[in-house]
Amino acid sequence: MATGIRDKVAIIGMGCTRFGERWDVGAEELMVEAFSECMEDAGVGKDDIEAAWLGTCLEETNVGKSALPLSTTLRLPFIPVTRTENFCASGTEAFRGAVYAVASGAYDVALALGVEKLKDSGYGGLPNPGSNWGSLSWLWWPNVTAPGAFAQLASAYAAKYNIPDQDLKRAMAHVSSKSHANGLLNPKAHLRKEISDEQVMASPIIAHPLGLFDCCGVSDGSACAIVTTVEKALSMGKKDFITVKALQLALSSGEEMGYNQWDGDHFMTTDKCSTRAYEEAGIKNPREEISMMELHDCFSITELVTYEDLHISQRGEAVQDVMDGFYDREGGGVPCQVDGGLKCFGHPIGASGLRMLYEMYLQFHGRAGERQIEDPRFGLTHNLGGVPFMNVCSISIVGRYEN
């Protein structure tokens, strides 16, 4: 009988580059930067790594289709290396590969690294993925844009719960402004400038009701993790290490597009994925037990709706929770985007999932500086790749190892 991976795998080292417009380096230098910090943090040698996973999404503008760039750049000792790609969950997929490999007993120590070099593409957002990006073919969806699709989500959500336009826009504005306040405290964040709710609401409209400051940009960056078995971590003398409590993945089945039971106001994948993750982690009341979250805030409405899909806010009540400060870093019940989120830390696709885990890792080890949360218990990360009507969702839950 399957038992999940709760407390079977320990994270013993992590590293992360500064995210941003890194014109001075290529993807290879970014990989080395994250890997060097990770190795020093873990206290292991290169020869200790038995297998590795590389997460990257847009190979056409990045490192290519194979896993060789990771192996050759880091001079890994002829070990198995696998490239993973699953839209914006690519970095978490690399982590999942390494975690499952260790949990299975196949390896003692494994590496997961995510990287993306997007600013060189010349696009303000994501580059055109080509004539056919899986089921999201431009031949079938010629008028779909990311802001347009998520603006429709906002309109559907407001209609479902009868939320006045100004109330929704003000709540979305606070979602963004709190991330800016947190990003200001993060030396590795791409955008480090505090803005007010009023500035967000006054920003130019991109796709109503989403304004410029409701949208995240893209970045260059890399993040890295080294995982091992709990037994190995203990034998290495590691203390107060964190373990993986749950790792879940849910992909759209096509029901959202093809049938009428989905009314466009939420993400079916996140709803189902989070339920499985809580069960695997043994969490009964996420609103009370989750200490901090890093969510996929590609747009402010995405984060707001995800509060409900994660079963932390009740359906239709996320707007009120946001305005009550429930997700604020200071005084909030479940602080969200403590490192600035996609909105301000940045979004190099293949690195984002591991970057989220990096913040959890710092928080649990008391290394988050001015962003530090007092005595966290469980940390949750969430990736969402695609559009509301067809997407991939990944959720990780981590926490301190408990005997």
Q: What is the pLDDT of residue 122?
A: 74
> Which one is catalytic: 88, 215, 273, 336?
88
> For 9-57, what is each residue's pLDDT tens digit?
999 999 999 999 999 999 999 999 999 999 999 999 999 999 999 999 9
> For 188-236, what is each residue's pLDDT tens digit?
999 999 999 999 999 999 999 999 999 999 999 999 999 999 999 999 9
Residue 354 has pLDDT above 90, yes or no: yes
Q: What is this structure's pTM?
A: 0.96
Domains 9-122+220-243 and 146-210+245-400 fall in the same CATH topology:
yes
Q: Which two tokens stand for residue 275?
A: 């339920």
Q: What is the pLDDT of residue 130?
A: 52
Assess whether 382 carries a catalytic annotation. Answer: no
**Quick one: average pLDDT of 168-185?**
98
Residue ranges covered by each domain of the chain: 9-122+220-243, 146-210+245-400
State the sign of the Cα–Cα–Cα–Cα dihedral 239, 240, 241, 246.
positive
Q: Which two tokens stand for residue 206?
A: 């991109």
Q: What is the distance between the alpha carbons of residues 259 and 386, in angstroms, rounded to a whole number?
A: 18
Residue 367 has pLDDT above 50, yes or no: yes
Q: What is the DSSP string of 193-222?
A: ----HHHHHTSPEEETTEEGGGB----EEE
Q: What is the distance between the alpha carbons of residues 56 and 54, in angstroms, rounded to a whole number?
A: 6
> For 84-132, what is each residue's pLDDT tens digit?
999 999 999 999 999 999 999 999 999 999 999 988 877 777 776 554 4
State the sign of the Cα–Cα–Cα–Cα dihedral 71, 74, 79, 85.
negative
Q: State the CATH architecture for 9-122+220-243.
A: 3-Layer(aba) Sandwich (3.40)
CATH topology for 146-210+245-400 is: Peroxisomal Thiolase; Chain A, domain 1 (3.40.47)
> For 125-140, what is each residue's pLDDT tens digit?
777 655 445 555 555 5
Q: What is the pLDDT of residue 137?
A: 54
Mean pLDDT of the chain: 94
Q: Which two tokens stand for residue 23?
A: 């014109």
Q: What is the pLDDT of residue 132?
A: 42
Q: What is the distance between the alpha carbons of residues 293 and 307, in angstroms, rounded to a whole number?
A: 10
Q: What is the pLDDT of residue 128?
A: 61
Strand segments (E) across 68-185: 81-84, 109-117
Q: What is the pLDDT of residue 316?
A: 98
The residue among 129 and 237 whose pLDDT is bigger is 237
> Which one is catalytic: 174, 296, 311, 347?
347
Residue the block writes with tokens 């890194």: 22
Q: What is the distance between the alpha carbons of residues 395 and 398, in angstroms, rounded to a whole number?
A: 10
Q: Which two tokens stand for residue 97?
A: 């590969």
- 176 neighbors 343 (Cβ within 8 angstroms): yes
> For 286-332, what is each residue's pLDDT tens digit?
999 999 999 999 999 999 999 999 999 999 999 999 999 999 999 99
**Quick one: average pLDDT of 324-348?**
97
- 372 neighbors 111 (Cβ within 8 angstroms): no
Q: What is the distance between the alpha carbons of residues 333 and 292, in angstroms, rounded to a whole number?
A: 9
Assess whether 296 carries a catalytic annotation. Answer: no
Q: What is the pLDDT of residue 131?
A: 44
Of the pLDDT bands very low, low, confident and very high (cuts 50, 70, 90), residue 141 is low
Hey, which residues does 20 pair with through a beta bridge?
Answer: 220
**Quick one: average pLDDT of 373-380?**
97
Cis peptide before 209 (omega within 30 of 0): yes
